[in-house]
Structure 1
Amino acid sequence: MNKRLTEAVISRFRNQEGPVCAFVYDLDHLHRHVRKVMELLPERCEMYYAMKANSERPVLETLAPLVHGFEVASGGEIRKAREAGETIPVIFGGPGKTDEELEKAIRMRVSLIHAESLHELRRLAHLAQKLDGEVRVLLRVNLAGPFPAGATLHMAGRPTAFGIDERDVPTVLEELKRFRRVRLEGFHFHSVSNHLQEETHLQVIRHYMSKAKRWAKEHGLALTRLNAGGGIGVNYRELDNQFDWATFCSGLGELIERELPETWTLMFECGRFLTASCGVYATEVIDLKSNHGETFAIIRGGTHHFRLPASWQHNHPFEVVPVEKWNRPFPRKEIREEPVTVVGQLCTPKDTLARNVPVGRLRIGDLIVFQYAGAYGWAISHHDFLSHPHPDHVWLPVERREADRESV
Structure 2
Amino acid sequence: MSLLTPQRPGGGAHTDSVATMVPDQSRAERTASFDVSAFPVPHGREEEWRFTPVDRLGAFFRDEATGASLTWADELPGGVTLSTVSVEEWRALGVPAPQDRAAAVAAAHSGGVALVDVPAEAELTEPVRIRLDGTDQGLVHGHLLVRVGRFAKATVVLEHTGVADYSEMLTVIAGDGSDVTLVTVQEWDDRSHHLAQHDVVVGRDATARHIAVTLGGGVVRLNTNATYRGPGGSFEGLGVYFSDAGQHLEHRLFVDHEAPHCRSNVEYKGALQGDTARTVWIGDVLIRAAAEGTDTYELNRNLLLTEGARADSVPNLEIETGEIEGAGHASATGRFDDEQLFYLMARGIPEPEARRLVVRGFFASVVGRIHVPEVQEHLMLAIERELAAGAA
TM-score above 0.5:
no
Give the number of the structure with larger relative contact order, counting CA–CA contacts within 8 Å between residues 6 or more apart. Answer: 1
What's the TM-score, normalizing by structure 2? 0.27
Bigger proportion of residues as helix: 1
What's the TM-score, normalizing by structure 1? 0.26
When Rg is computed on C-alpha atoms for both structures, the one with the higher figure is 1
Bigger proportion of residues as strand: 2
